[in-house]
A and B are shown apart, each in its own frame.
Chain A
């Protein structure tokens, strides 16, 4: 038998009650919030930190994403922060002392039209100059990397080639969160679950505390890392953000013998799929166009997703959908995140990661911790300001980055 379960540490975290005050309160106990707390302690020596989670740790998008990790983004700003994240991923199992099932099995981004080819090749050339490993593959090379992709020219949207990032891959989302949480807990950071923030106490333009369902907590710094719920929290500070929250669905099959050696993403046919270490196919579906906080999407999107999957992977026909679910993704007009300061002193923003937050986890934790610790952005997140929507200096990854995951 192949053992399928990893050996988890005997102890993960305490379950403390909130203290009356902290140096930093991180709102949102997902991957980003936990990574931020960890790097606050590890890189900046800030340990009087609370992570407030309204539900259970990493139960939001961290538990619901399709775990794809890559850094082959088009624009310099994006490539820099995602590549920073990927480099951290490459040492993260050791750093956290946790089996994260990080697997650099490569990611293929398929091109189906001549315009796809132009755009994806443009991305490859840009990636190479930015030091991101990326290469262009012809259809027959795609078939070598992933033999089950239908590269026949006779399909409705034939595969005309692909970009390939060999260092890209997947990891086990829960374990990543738990790895950060465990280390943060060891630093003495309080991870407080079932604790919903109900108000932000701002006096004279400066944050002084947060009100929660478990009482008031005094703090001079609040770091928001609440993904789809950021707008709701920001509204407590009177901030209006260029965010829209949408349901995004994903699904898994039963456990299957190894059949899919890499990760495949397609924009035109809209598929992104990998096979997790246990053997289940993990697949993302489309985003619901309407706003929603319901953590559930429309099923016709799943049906469409399956049609797309079978176009590219005929062998998946009799795999079975075992479970589907939805997360709430906060999207921005340019499909790039917002990470930085706000008009409220001591209130920091990390949001707008849309469908791409998981892969950035260590990178954004690193940079956001820096931003909070120094009250100024890290160079990697400096371009991702709120002000860019006023100046027009967008980092427009729409269309430029294949499927934005």
Chain B
């Protein structure tokens, strides 16, 4: 099936290959090199979409990213919402449909991969049109590292849509030659299908490369679909071109109304005649070229309607030669048609007024040109200022930004020769290529909106659309100004103009112009809305790149992880770590498993993987001094061979972390942190050391990953340790509580600390990471006669809670002091100062009703209080707000106590021990007894075995 509007012998598409696609349920064919828009036009399809607010038919307005109208939904190969038909490269098997304002997300996950790549260069050129190519050539010939980006699959920019020649060759051919030369330079990278979408400080540009979209189902499976280039450039040339401005008149939204330049692009680049019966309405010279080119291609150009009183003579002659009527001082004021334009209505126009009779001209294509807007988006992203140019009716880049140059039509250059020369000036004295002579330009006319004659005649006004995608009209703008709005930002928000894909590309300046006229103010002072990244829409997935799934956040595992997995551990996430939470036997519930693990620890022996505890090595002559300043208690008096529990506070006096400190040698300590806080504590200490106390001779080293740490817990732990460390005297006298020893365990060097987070006799066995599994298995083997049991974090929590040991971050929340936790004993009275000390005497800290850590025993010994439950005073629940006295921080079922228990922060809790307090839950208010936080072995008899 041949496409009726495809012209023989024209265009750059690959006619040797046919691509089948479906649109709105019908099958069509196109060629490689087509966009969905060009292929639809080749098949005579102009109606592509539907207006969101009024449901009016909508067509194809442009040939590029400025498209405000032809929004489509991709359905296959994979659903993608709301793409501009003008930016979708055609591929075989494409299934799309026109949209009525809203896109649809695929219900399932996207199978494609996305990626990011970093690159550095001396010169980054954005845009491979005439100015961009000469800029890149100049840089390349100068030996610079150059990156040239362009959003199209082939270089050339405006040359692709033009019959103009460069150096005597057709524009696309010259561009291909320039790109070939560039590709021959070793330090030049030319990236097609790559759109720069954001420009930031210090030469940083983000660009999206579409790698496989044009291949459809044939895309290689292993290749990322899109990738974000993070480019850092010494200098940037923005050769981003210009977008043609539409004209605003009544019923200016019908399919078949198109920008004049777009029709030229469809003709020259795609070999598509967008219509056979053409009317051109313009306010500047450029549209004449479209009229002439389309006439030469066989279209009947009924008239060029030029709003200016004086038309360009040279172009008028060209038109006359082709039998095209040129009407000076006339504008299109309205259109007829339903699915497509059938007639343009024109009225003589002078001095901003319509004056004369309306005439109709039959047509199937109305080309419009209201001048050109330089593409200043990236310049604006980089905080470049824009200034209004009254001659062009456009905002142009103003001033200079360090390292950024705007070149070509993006800077306001009009002719091809100017653009080529402007780009060439980027580096050195590159002589610009030659072009054909062009007629002397006639100044354009700035025309923000054409009056609606029916409104002038007192009839019902017709809609004059400013933003086609948002269905916002001139009347909407005037309503906004009538409501008292004076800022373009307010008008934008009131009318929604410029908030869709267009992002003001076609509508922004026009809206400003209409507002300025309505208010009688200078548009230069009024300004326009701000351009914000991204320049064109970028999919969420492309921005997320590879940082998804397991790569969203690194997973940290200990050297024993494989063993845990093999032995059925259930894991919990703690920070980035995976920690075994419990080890259920076949068919065993978590509750049963934890009770079993607890019984083993209290009754015989159990062991856990404690390797995730943060470990920081502190060395140097002033190591003790540093620790004295950051811990609330005294550390410098610790003897080598001994261990001490310590608490750290922020300067606000609130508990930051806790852990044990061992003194390895006179000038060396090893401290442990909670699993989640290891990096925080290291950073905290480094900050103080470097910024406050640089005189202290101390170095800090994170050694968390160096060690495998295994707490061996329970009355039988001594016997098990003795079995694997035959040379170590494990007696209480030789190896007392809160000391450590180096020894050989299972044949490897180990450091063993007699510390206990469970209240039981316990040894913390530390060995080098790579020897961890061997030692772990040796401990298991030695413990077998005692029924040694691995336990997870849940059991650890129960055991420590039975002893009233708080977990920082669970029993504290950033508002809790050491005193609140009952850790006043760990706060030095001797030291003149340490971090946080001064805050302890603030008014709030001296209150007697501060929340304090206590134990709770529900009256119902089987009631497991939910963690987070709030505590109230009475047995009945009054109307809210109900005064709250504290909350449950930890709550467990205890094997040792034979009942449930909890820890809580309670106002003046220590004074209330022995009192009953109440917990309102879904099923009623439950009485609980406030107790000392230590509920098991209060005398501490068990820790020595």
Which residues of A come within 8 Å of B, CB atoms?
1-5, 8-15, 55-57, 59, 63, 76, 79-80, 112-115, 117-126, 128-131, 155-157, 174, 193, 253-257, 259, 269, 279, 296, 298-299, 302-304, 306-311, 314-325, 333, 390-394, 396, 398-400
Return the chain B residue nearest A315 by Cβ. B105
State whether A310 and B484 are in contact (beta carbons under 8 Å apart), knowing that A299-B206, A315-B105 are contacts in the complex: no
Docked CA distance A398–B650 (Å): 14
Docked CA distance A8–B868 (Å): 46
On whether the beta carbons of A156 and B814 are closer than 8 Å, the reply is no
Docked CA distance A76–B870 (Å): 12
Chain B residues within 8 Å of A130, by CB: 880-882
B496 within 8 A of partner (CB): yes
B810 within 8 A of partner (CB): yes
State whether A119 and B868 are in contact (beta carbons under 8 Å apart), knowing that A10-B482, A80-B881, A255-B102 are contacts in the complex: yes
Chain A residues within 8 Å of B822, by CB: none
Chain B residues within 8 Å of A55, by CB: 487
On whether the beta carbons of A56 and B489 are closer than 8 Å, the reply is yes
State whether A193 and B889 are in contact (beta carbons under 8 Å apart), knowing that A255-B82, A323-B532, A391-B844 are contacts in the complex: no
On whether the beta carbons of B82 and A193 are closer than 8 Å, the reply is no
Chain B residues within 8 Å of A296, by CB: 383
- What are 24 pairs between A and B in contact, CB < 8 Å? A1-B100, A5-B472, A10-B479, A11-B484, A56-B486, A56-B487, A56-B489, A118-B810, A119-B868, A125-B887, A129-B884, A131-B879, A155-B549, A174-B494, A255-B52, A256-B103, A256-B105, A303-B545, A303-B547, A304-B547, A307-B543, A310-B544, A317-B539, A392-B652
Docked CA distance A131–B879 (Å): 8
On whether the beta carbons of B845 and A392 are closer than 8 Å, the reply is yes
Shortest CB-to-CB span from A324 to chain B, Å, is: 6
On whether the beta carbons of B814 and A399 are closer than 8 Å, the reply is yes
B302 within 8 A of partner (CB): no
On whether the beta carbons of B810 and A115 are closer than 8 Å, the reply is yes
On whether the beta carbons of B484 and A156 are closer than 8 Å, the reply is no
On whether the beta carbons of B544 and A306 are closer than 8 Å, the reply is yes
Chain B residues within 8 Å of A121, by CB: 866-869
Docked CA distance A120–B813 (Å): 12
On whether the beta carbons of B884 and A76 are closer than 8 Å, the reply is yes
State whether A316 and B483 are in contact (beta carbons under 8 Å apart), knowing that A115-B810, A129-B884, A392-B843 are contacts in the complex: no
Docked CA distance A118–B572 (Å): 14
Docked CA distance A258–B671 (Å): 53
On whether the beta carbons of A314 and B110 are closer than 8 Å, the reply is yes
Besides A1-B101, A315-B107, A396-B813, 9 other A-B contacts (C-beta < 8 A): A80-B881, A254-B500, A255-B101, A279-B102, A299-B533, A308-B552, A311-B548, A317-B544, A320-B537
Docked CA distance A55–B487 (Å): 9
On whether the beta carbons of A307 and B887 are closer than 8 Å, the reply is no
Shortest CB-to-CB span from A275 to chain B, Å, is: 10
B639 within 8 A of partner (CB): no
B432 within 8 A of partner (CB): no
On whether the beta carbons of B543 and A306 are closer than 8 Å, the reply is yes
Residue of B55, B109, B555, B881 with most chain A CB atoms under a 10 A cut-off: B881
Q: What is the interface residue range for chain B against chain A?
A: 35 or more
State whether A59 and B487 are in contact (beta carbons under 8 Å apart), knowing that A4-B101, A315-B107 are contacts in the complex: yes
Chain A residues within 8 Å of B110, by CB: 314, 317-318
The contact of A10 among B101, B228, B483, B884, by CB within 8 Å, is B483
Chain A residues within 8 Å of B494, by CB: 8, 174
Docked CA distance A123–B108 (Å): 33
Docked CA distance A115–B496 (Å): 43
On whether the beta carbons of B80 and A318 are closer than 8 Å, the reply is yes
Shortest CB-to-CB span from B680 to chain A, Å, is: 13
B154 within 8 A of partner (CB): no
Docked CA distance A118–B813 (Å): 11
Docked CA distance A347–B813 (Å): 34
Which residues of B come within 8 Å of A, CB atoms?
50-55, 78-82, 100-110, 112, 116, 198, 200, 206, 228, 383, 470-472, 479, 482-487, 489-490, 493-496, 499-501, 503, 532-534, 537-541, 543-545, 547-550, 552-553, 555, 572-574, 652-653, 809-810, 813-815, 839, 842-845, 866-870, 872, 879-882, 884, 887, 889, 920
Return the chain B residue nearest A174 by Cβ. B493
Docked CA distance A304–B471 (Å): 34
On whether the beta carbons of A156 and B552 are closer than 8 Å, the reply is yes
Docked CA distance A179–B538 (Å): 34
On whether the beta carbons of A318 and B106 are closer than 8 Å, the reply is yes
How many A-B contacts if CB must be within 8 Å? Answer: 261
On whether the beta carbons of B881 and A392 are closer than 8 Å, the reply is no
The contact of A12 among B485, B572, B887, by CB within 8 Å, is B485
Docked CA distance A10–B476 (Å): 11
Chain A residues within 8 Å of B53, by CB: 1, 3-5
The contact of A255 among B103, B540, B844, by CB within 8 Å, is B103
On whether the beta carbons of B872 and A1 are closer than 8 Å, the reply is no
Chain B residues within 8 Å of A156, by CB: 549-550, 552-553, 555
Shortest CB-to-CB span from B338 to chain A, Å, is: 16
Return the chain A residue nearest B867 by Cβ. A118
Shortest CB-to-CB span from B188 to chain A, Å, is: 26
Chain A residues within 8 Å of B879, by CB: 131
Chain A residues within 8 Å of B844, by CB: 391-394
Shortest CB-to-CB span from A300 to chain B, Å, is: 9
The contact of B540 among A269, A304, A320, by CB within 8 Å, is A320
Shortest CB-to-CB span from B485 to chain A, Å, is: 7
On whether the beta carbons of A259 and B105 are closer than 8 Å, the reply is yes
Docked CA distance A243–B672 (Å): 34
On whether the beta carbons of A123 and B843 are closer than 8 Å, the reply is no
Shortest CB-to-CB span from A55 to chain B, Å, is: 8
Chain B residues within 8 Å of A174, by CB: 493-494
Chain B residues within 8 Å of A323, by CB: 499, 503, 532-534
On whether the beta carbons of A157 and B573 are closer than 8 Å, the reply is yes
Docked CA distance A5–B383 (Å): 32
Shortest CB-to-CB span from A306 to chain B, Å, is: 4
Docked CA distance A121–B839 (Å): 30
Chain B residues within 8 Å of A399, by CB: 813-814
Docked CA distance A117–B573 (Å): 12
Docked CA distance A5–B487 (Å): 19
Shortest CB-to-CB span from A281 to chain B, Å, is: 9
Chain B residues within 8 Å of A322, by CB: 500-501, 503, 534, 537
Chain B residues within 8 Å of A298, by CB: 200
Docked CA distance A118–B905 (Å): 14
On whether the beta carbons of B537 and A131 are closer than 8 Å, the reply is no
Docked CA distance A119–B547 (Å): 27
The contact of A317 among B501, B540, B550, B872, by CB within 8 Å, is B540
The contact of A257 among B102, B206, B501, B539, by CB within 8 Å, is B102
Docked CA distance A124–B879 (Å): 16
3 closest cross-chain pairs (CB), A and B? A131-B880, A392-B844, A122-B868
Shortest CB-to-CB span from A205 to chain B, Å, is: 25
On whether the beta carbons of B872 and A321 are closer than 8 Å, the reply is no
On whether the beta carbons of B870 and A8 are closer than 8 Å, the reply is no
Chain B residues within 8 Å of A124, by CB: 868
Chain A residues within 8 Å of B552, by CB: 156-157, 269, 307-308, 311
On whether the beta carbons of A318 and B539 are closer than 8 Å, the reply is yes
Docked CA distance A253–B103 (Å): 10
Chain B residues within 8 Å of A254, by CB: 81-82, 103, 500-501, 537
On whether the beta carbons of A317 and B109 are closer than 8 Å, the reply is yes
